[in-house]
Chains A and B, each alone.
Chain A
Amino acid sequence: MDAPSPMIELCEVRKVFADARGEPVVAVDEISLEVARGESLCLIGTSGCGKTTTMKMINRLVEPTSGSVRVDGREVRDRDPIELRRSIGYVIQRGGLFPHMTVADNIGLQCRLEGWEPARQEQRVAELLRLVNLPETVAPRYPRELSGGQRQRVGVARSLALDPPIIIMDEPFGALDPITRRQLHAEFGELRERMGTTIVLVTHDLHEAFTLGDRVALMDRGRVVQLGTPSQLRDEPANDFVERFVRAHLGGDHA
């Protein structure tokens, strides 16, 4: 048999939206890329470059206009979106925690929807809190009683509830102070090693992309300009745009 299929495959994917006046706007223009099992891929670019839209096509929050998206070798459009989404962890900026639910209810929500026994659910919540380095005492608290970093950890824990093979993350550490962010970056690395999860992460911060991504896809106006390891982007820029983007974002110390 061949080598195992990639975890995620995008093939000539295109997405056209209608803007406020009904004019078509191309958000994603013929993107093709693959993410291997256990790999982490960062999508980076300025706002409006199509990185978030690309990511949302993986769990069918956005349906592509044309092209194909495969997860674990299967076409996503043939799959039940609910079942697909429960197999893909989803983390958004500032955590996206439900303010009317306790930390435990937030983390255990998917388990509850899957019909788990309360005791098993409770045990899972405790495990996940340990995994993201939170004390068990936060379980009965509400999101507004937590710090930004704690909320973000809860958001990550929530996405891991059903032990998904894939996690997609939309600017997960964007709204945090630099110290907390660095700490979470370190924890994120440990977590990945332990879980072996495939990750697609959207960010506009090149430091973050270079720290967390095995490979990085730099996007501009709906296209991937360069896809490669951090050192490839830094040392072998595909064109002027990549070179300028990297220099502008990494500043003097990497120039």
Chain B
Amino acid sequence: MRRRGRGLRLWALLAVLLALVLHGRSGTAEATPAASSPRVQIAAKNFTEGRLLAEIMAQLIEQHTELEVDRRYNLGGTTVLFSALKSGEIDLYVEYTGTAWTVMLEDPEKITSPLRAFLTVRHEFETRWDLHWLDPFGFSNSYALGMAESRAEELGIERISDLRPHLSTLRLGFSYEFLEREDGFPGLAKAYDFPAHTPRGMEHGLAYQALAQGEIDVVDTYTTDGKLRAYSVRVLEDDARFFPPYDAAPLVRGELLRSHPELGPLLHRLAFTLDARRMSDLNHAVEDEGLDFDVVAARFLKEEGLLVGDPEATAAEPAADGLLALMWDRRGEITRLAGEHLGLTGLAVLLAILFAVPTGLWLTRHERWAGLVIGTTGVIQTIPSLALLAFMIPIPGLGLGTNSAVVALFLYALLPIVRNTYAGIREVDPDLIEAARGMGLRDLQLLRLVELPLATRTIMAGIRTSTVISIGVATLAAFVGAGGLGHLIITGLQLNDTRLILSGALPAALLALLFDMLLGRLEHRLAPAGLEQGSDG
């Protein structure tokens, strides 16, 4: 009969989608070389400096060893990287002593001595987690105060304490975060015994321009900020040693160092090669000159005599100007990432359908579990997406990459589908169920011929909601190295490049709208004829 045909068609459609998604996944799996050659997983947080240093280490290892390097850049934040390192998902990334002190060791004491911070952190990480801090790169990326070079020269200011006599006339413009944090201006004012003063709060990105135009005199900054080079800013010496040290060093799994003893000495060749000024030059080259990470890294290694060959040969052509031109230039990449994006979302939503629809049905037969189960799926939805992704990494079989992202997206997709399946079946007129039973329909016949067709529209609406949510959340998948359009967004955030952010965000939004529309149509087509339109929309 006609309705049976429709049901079959729905299942055929699901099967084809599943096949497509699985095919896509097996395709990407084949793309990574066989695991036979020894590999090193180098990771980086989603900001310029971490990625640059990771790239420098990657090229160094590739140049001097037989090891293959997997680059896992743009991962989301300290928590994600640290748990990935502990579980062996990644082998190596760049960490900062100040972060390790407060975030990982959770030491409430304020640390001021860079050496003590480094030695303590190194000792603790080795004994607690068999994680090794190699020798630092030589710079500390900490908070700092900066002044326009000319103005500082004119007033003869070199150290923060030199500001004191001029405070009544100087205009201070600080980022909101710096104004609030105890290790920002409030603590600083105490440490330097500054008289009461109210600095202006402003967006950090705008502060440099205001400084260059002479609207403000002092800004908060980072010692390695690439913008220091673009705007000719003098970094004032922290002579009271107020700002905690943030020395950067490679953080490596002990197992890797033991299985490849040549790696320790090799990476130590990077020790103390970078001071804050040189690091900010490198950041500047990527952020403001538009050079690619690998080019800047290669240039640095060459200067250090650690790389042979001509890095400039691979120099990127200048980036296109407008947003559309940029998107056109990157159309291949955008298409590929959009494909990854849909693959992640599609697989997660399909799995969610296969799990959540039967669960919703089961709940209509076991009402007393409904509150608990629907409540639990609701609680999952309140977990911040990034945190949920981070939870997945230590789970065996998940780790960094697609699996974690799919499982997290799957969990997010459950609620709307379970809830709508349950509600859709419960909304069916009890008289109709009574009539069906009285006519001698068996349980499964009742479900297949009466309840499911009448609940189709509500169930489909749940699937549609899940899909749109998943397309949005999947932009975060790049934080755990699962790719997708989030890759462009994160890189754009890192480079402070709005066009790049939009080149990922716009296609993601378009995909969400497109699927909302397509699934709306499908909903309409699958909903059985004979029902009043929109009665349960």
A interface, CB within 8 angstroms of B: 59, 61, 81-86, 90, 92-94, 96-102, 105, 109-110, 112-113, 142-144, 158
Interface residues of B in 419-471 (CB under 8 A from A): 431-432, 434-442, 445, 449-450, 453-454
B449 touches A109 (CB 8 A): yes
B434 touches A61 (CB 8 A): yes
Chain A residues near B441: list those with CB within 8 A: 82, 113
A113 touches B440 (CB 8 A): yes
Nearest CB in chain B: distance from A69 CB, A: 15
Chain B residues near A110: list those with CB within 8 A: 439-440
Chain B residues near A93: list those with CB within 8 A: 431
Is B530 in the interface zone, CB < 8 Å from A? yes
Closest 8 CB pairs of A and B: A96-B435, A142-B530, A90-B438, A100-B528, A85-B440, A86-B440, A100-B453, A82-B440
Interface residues of B in 115-171 (CB under 8 A from A): none
Residue contacts A-B, CB under 8 angstroms, 6 given: A61-B437, A86-B440, A94-B431, A100-B531, A113-B441, A144-B530
| Measured CA separation A101–B453 after assembly (Å) | 10
Chain B residues near A96: list those with CB within 8 A: 431-432, 434-435
Which secondary structure dominates chain B's binding surface? helix
Chain B residues near A100: list those with CB within 8 A: 3, 453-454, 528-531
Q: A92-B435, A142-B529 are in contact. List 15 more A-B contacts (CB 8 A).
A: A85-B437, A90-B438, A93-B431, A96-B434, A96-B435, A99-B530, A99-B531, A100-B529, A100-B531, A105-B1, A105-B3, A110-B440, A113-B441, A143-B530, A144-B531
Mark contacts of B322-352 with chain A using CB atoms, 8 A cut-off: 1 yes-contact digit, 0 otherwise. 0000000000000000000000000000000
Partner of A90, one of B3, B439, B453: B439
A98 touches B450 (CB 8 A): yes
Chain B residues near A143: list those with CB within 8 A: 530
Chain B residues near A101: list those with CB within 8 A: 3, 530
Nearest CB in chain B: distance from A107 CB, A: 11
Partner of B438, one of A61, A94, A113: A61
A85 touches B528 (CB 8 A): no
Q: Pick the most buried of B435, B437, B439, B442: most chain A CB atoms within 10 A of its CB.
A: B439
Which secondary structure dominates chain A's binding surface? helix
Is B532 in the interface zone, CB < 8 Å from A? yes
Nearest CB in chain B: distance from A120 CB, A: 14
Chain A residues near B436: list those with CB within 8 A: 98
Answer whether A99 and B454 are a contact pair too, CB < 8 Å, given A86-B440, A113-B441: yes
| Measured CA separation A142–B532 after assembly (Å) | 11
Residue of A nearest to B530 (CB): A142
| Measured CA separation A42–B211 after assembly (Å) | 96
Interface residues of B in 158-212 (CB under 8 A from A): none
| Measured CA separation A102–B431 after assembly (Å) | 18
Mark contacts of B380-392 with chain A using CB atoms, 8 A cut-off: 1 yes-contact digit, 0 otherwise. 0000000000000
B530 touches A59 (CB 8 A): no
| Measured CA separation A96–B435 after assembly (Å) | 6
Nearest CB in chain A: distance from B425 CB, A: 14
Residue of B nearest to A110 (CB): B439
Chain B residues near A112: list those with CB within 8 A: 1
| Measured CA separation A144–B528 after assembly (Å) | 13
Nearest CB in chain A: distance from B452 CB, A: 10
Residue of B nearest to A142 (CB): B530
| Measured CA separation A59–B434 after assembly (Å) | 12
Chain B residues near A99: list those with CB within 8 A: 432, 454, 530-531
Nearest CB in chain B: distance from A234 CB, A: 32
| Measured CA separation A204–B318 after assembly (Å) | 87
Chain A residues near B1: list those with CB within 8 A: 105, 112
B432 touches A102 (CB 8 A): no
Mark contacts of B500-533 with chain A using CB atoms, 8 A cut-off: 1 yes-contact digit, 0 otherwise. 0000000000000000000000000000111110
B528 touches A92 (CB 8 A): no
Chain A residues near B453: list those with CB within 8 A: 100
Chain A residues near B532: list those with CB within 8 A: 144
Nearest CB in chain B: distance from A218 CB, A: 25
Chain B residues near A142: list those with CB within 8 A: 529-530
| Measured CA separation A102–B530 after assembly (Å) | 8
Q: Pick the most buried of B434, B437, B440: most chain A CB atoms within 10 A of its CB.
A: B440
Chain A residues near B439: list those with CB within 8 A: 85-86, 90, 109-110, 158
Nearest CB in chain B: distance from A77 CB, A: 16
B442 touches A82 (CB 8 A): yes
| Measured CA separation A114–B373 after assembly (Å) | 38
| Measured CA separation A98–B452 after assembly (Å) | 12
Nearest CB in chain A: distance from B457 CB, A: 10
Chain A residues near B440: list those with CB within 8 A: 81-86, 110, 113
